[in-house]
A and B are shown apart, each in its own frame.
Chain A
Amino acid sequence: MKISVTVNGVVHESDVEPRTLLVHYVREVVGLTGTNIGCDTSSCGACSVHVNGEAVKSCTMLAVQADGQSITTIEGMATDGVLHPMQQAFMENHGLQCGYCTPGMVMAATSLLKENPNPTEEEVRLGLEGNLCRCTGYHNIVKSVLAAAAGQ
């Protein structure tokens, strides 16, 4: 099926199999591999992207459902060589180790702050419960998100 999707501000016209997941489209068709795949049950959130500005696990959507939509991936977060404030907060607070969950975490966390600009620690923990990390114990991820919120 032919689809037209805006990814990080650039329009991509593609012909995809109807069963193609958005995450596979982003990685294999558009060629942006920053969005990672961590599971096959929509449990881990590693593949989170923004669809029209809102965090979505890109394994829960078909590519054809993204037709006409605007997608932002982790590659679209830093601008002009400057990290997005959330990326900067993760770096400054050691909110990542192996980095595999990180793109999804950053996408989920920015979406969280959009909905709730001044979350409590508890709200950050609940807000990120769809994103799994095995390295950090979440301590510094939560700290990063709170720091990003404070710096807004």
Chain B
Amino acid sequence: MTVTDDRPSAVLGTRLLRREDPALLTGEAKYTNDLDLPGALHLAVLRSPYAHARIVSVDLSAAQASPGVVAVYSGADLAGEWASPMPSAWAVTADMKNPAHYPLASSKVCYVGDGVACVLATSDVAARDALELIDVRYEPLPAVVDLEDALSDRVVIHDELSTNSSYTWDLKIEGTEGQVEQAFADAAFTVKERYVQQRLIPMAMEPRAVAAVPQPFGGDMVLYSATQIPHILKVMTALTLGIPEHQMRVIAPSVGGGFGSKLDVYAEELLCVALARKHRVPVRWNEERGEGTVATTHGRGQIQHVELAADADGKLTAVRIRLLADMGGYQQLITAGIPILGAFLYAGVYDLPQAYDFSCTGVYTTLTPTDAYRGAGRPEATYAIERAMDALADQMGIDPMDLRKRNFIRKEQFPYTAFTGLVYDSGDHLAAAEMAAEMADYDGTRARQKAQNVPGAKKLLGIGQASYFEMCGLAPSRVLASLNYSAGGWEAATVRILPTNKVQVVTGTAPHGQGHETAWSMIVADKLGIAPGDVDVLHSDTALAPLGLDTYGSRSLPVGGVAIAIACDKVIDKAKKIAAHQLEANEDDLDFTGGAFTVKGSPDRTMPLAAIAFEAFTAHNLPDGLEPNLEAQVTYDPPNFSWPFGTHICTVEVDTETGQVDVLQYVAVDDCGVQVNPLIVEGQVHGGVIQGLAQALYEEAAYDTDGNLKNASLAEYLVPAASDVPPITLGHTVTPSPTNQLGVKGIGEAGTIGAAPAVINAVVDALSGLGVTDVPMPASPHNVWKAIQAATNNSQGASK
């Protein structure tokens, strides 16, 4: 018998269109706010208009009498609902100071947007109407908006801590005492810069939304939420509310983007569950954009002091970093750890000896809490080193590309044990930089720049580069343990072959735009020799996919995807036992290709997986002792982070009279190892680049001195539109990761990490002839114009 198998066996690496799209394109997909929940009450939260104030009194009576209102609660009224304060999962130091934080404040508010009371009503409109009738008396206290002011403890925000400093975390490398100081003393060149990572509002297009559906007599509770982390949320909700974990089920329906802002356990999630439990009816809440800008976590918010030492050739000899990181009014889920995620990357992609001194102090301010935002710590680190490298090149009078080439870790040094002890898996930075330079016509642009940037020129040309490492795929559990993170970094997968040879994959990842259903089906199709369309991917529901650690930190493919590949291997191993039994052959003599087992050297002795699947189901003729059915579960703890890398080159023209920056060209060369689906990879890079470019040119959560967010809506906060951004030219190199069988690395954050420094380096490069050495982010026309004026005035002052 000859079996012809024409099913695809190599879908990996193809531009397979996304299976997610038809539902999303037709309105069929259901986001949390789309769920039809008969009888649900609507929650609305009254938020503090003060950045810092004592709550003197809360009068709920008028609101209680408002039409449609079922109940109104102050923070004090709900104190009995919480088994513990809101979770903070990352105590970065043993002595970290972290104030107790509850879903509603009862004695003091610590940022504009802090919840003080809530209404339950029969409609969203009725609930929001009633908010206006709640009378809260406040005793305003001074706001703390500036990080250095916060550090001074002029005003202490949390009385019980007696300081605004939450922690100081140092990266000390044993046995290297004195080396940094010596390197600076011996240096031919040193650079000392101060950079500010402005606060950013993540602005996922879907605002947050929550619905809690109780089963009053059965005791179960289902929480629907627009979250990136259904699994973590389940554990944290159970703990915070004292609900037995097995009675909590969390479902993330379609989720409209997250970028880190939905990697959290929020007050509204806890309130909905608490009130659904209390009232025995479903309770739902949907965020208005205007409240989301203050009530959803912000990103970045750092002051960076960066020092580099280099020898006469420009070879880096030491790096010293002092960070001040803005926690906001409280810590959310992993607030404290965000700057620490960047702590290992301040030497960038360069071959640095063991002379590294890093310290970060986290301080409280009276602003919206910060937490993860696309890249989380790593864009900040990359910005600092890549801006400082340009400063060093400027000081040495050499081309920044040349300086980088002198310092890159070379291809043959991989796997590279860094000064921190971390092992960088694979890379070829020179190749990526050279490819980007060629695509961007780097040398030609330099020549044009020389011709264009003459004294008196109105429009100046600039070219900027950033070379980066992503350090992602969070993460080896033991490394997370060493950082005092409260969870592991594994991921779970189950692969189940159904009787008719269709496949169910259960994953612990929780996609919210990344196309996991498509990508995971490709991995399985490739492994099992079946069509991707025969694979169903179950996810984002803790009852269907009970084990998982969710989606963030570019971890889904290098951890979750690899777990699926390993589960496929286990299923194939079991199927092979059945095939060997039925073909009367040794397992060792069987090949598995194209979805069928064949006896080596006897192509006619073959058995397709479809036949084995049915045999495994009927269990009529299985080897002795073998369990029926084909299913394997795997929990995979990665041995290392994955280290994607690349070089981005941005070309800009700056109008010296208006300060307007026009991006003429943006080239991104990224290497994420083996690409499962280049279509999806490209999309991730495009989006990431524009988010990084938006930090560089447009976005900033701007506060007044009283702690009011001045741009608390999408009308004022500049998320760029299509007309504000350039097309992106992509290239890629492929350097497989040796640490996993697929050779893959993450790609979700790479674009964002590379973009901000590339853009700002280009802007500063354009203006360098005027004496400008730095432009703060965002490089808005006003900020650029001010930088030009300051430099021009300086040089005029100097010439007098």
Contacts and interface: CB of A to CB of B under 8 A. Distances in A.
A interface, by DSSP: helix, strand, loop or mixed?
A: loop
Interface stretch (B345-353, B573-581, B685-693): B685-693
Interface string A87-106: 10011101011111111001
B224 to A, nearest CB: 14
A43 B714 contact: yes
Nearest to B30: A33
A48 interface: no
A142 B722 contact: yes
Interface in A28-60: 31-44, 46
Interface string B750-786: 0100000000000000000000000000000000000
A97 B687 contact: yes
A134 B259 contact: yes
A96 B714 contact: no
Interface string B670-709: 0000000001101100111111000000000000000000
A114 B765 CA distance: 43
Given A38-B289, A87-B26, A91-B21, A98 B255 contact: yes
A27 B34 CA distance: 8
Contacts of B682: 94, 140
A131 B22 CA distance: 20
Nearest to B254: A99
A83 B686 contact: no
B362 interface: no
A139 B290 contact: no
Interface string B505-519: 000000011110000
A142 B289 contact: no
Interface in A70-116: 73-75, 77-78, 83, 87, 90-92, 94, 96-103, 106
Nearest to A92: B17
A106 B27 CA distance: 11
Contact of A140 (B17, B255, B513, B683): B683
A141 B680 contact: no
A137 B690 contact: yes
Interface residues of B, number: 57
A131 B719 CA distance: 11
Contact of B725 (A32, A33, A124, A138): A138
A139 to B, nearest CB: 4
A38 B24 contact: no
B451 interface: no
B687 A43 contact: no
B33 interface: yes
Contact of A83 (B26, B255, B691): B26
A91 B257 contact: no
Contact of A38 (B205, B255, B721): B205
B277 to A, nearest CB: 26
Contacts of B728: 137, 139
Contacts of B536: none
Nearest to B716: A41
A69 B679 CA distance: 40
A107 to B, nearest CB: 10
B515 A132 contact: no
A121 interface: yes
Given A39-B289, A91-B21, A134 B719 contact: yes
B21 A90 contact: yes
Nearest to B512: A98
A139 B256 CA distance: 18
B722 A124 contact: yes
A126 interface: yes
A121 B723 CA distance: 10
Interface in B1-53: 17-18, 20-31, 33-34, 36
Contacts of A134: 203-205, 257, 259, 687, 691, 719
A10 B634 CA distance: 50
B288 interface: yes
B683 A94 contact: yes
B433 to A, nearest CB: 22
A91 B259 contact: no
A91 B513 contact: no
Contacts of A136: 683, 686-687, 690
Contacts of A138: 686, 690, 721-722, 725
A11 interface: no
B515 to A, nearest CB: 7
B727 interface: yes
A114 B521 CA distance: 37
Contacts of A124: 722
Closest 5 CB pairs of A and B: A34-B27, A99-B24, A100-B256, A98-B513, A137-B690
25 contacts: A27-B34, A34-B28, A38-B207, A40-B713, A41-B290, A43-B714, A74-B27, A78-B26, A97-B257, A98-B206, A98-B512, A98-B513, A99-B256, A100-B205, A100-B256, A101-B205, A103-B25, A125-B721, A134-B204, A135-B683, A136-B690, A137-B687, A137-B728, A137-B751, A139-B727
Given A31-B36, A99-B23, 5 more contacts: A43-B713, A98-B512, A130-B721, A133-B722, A138-B721
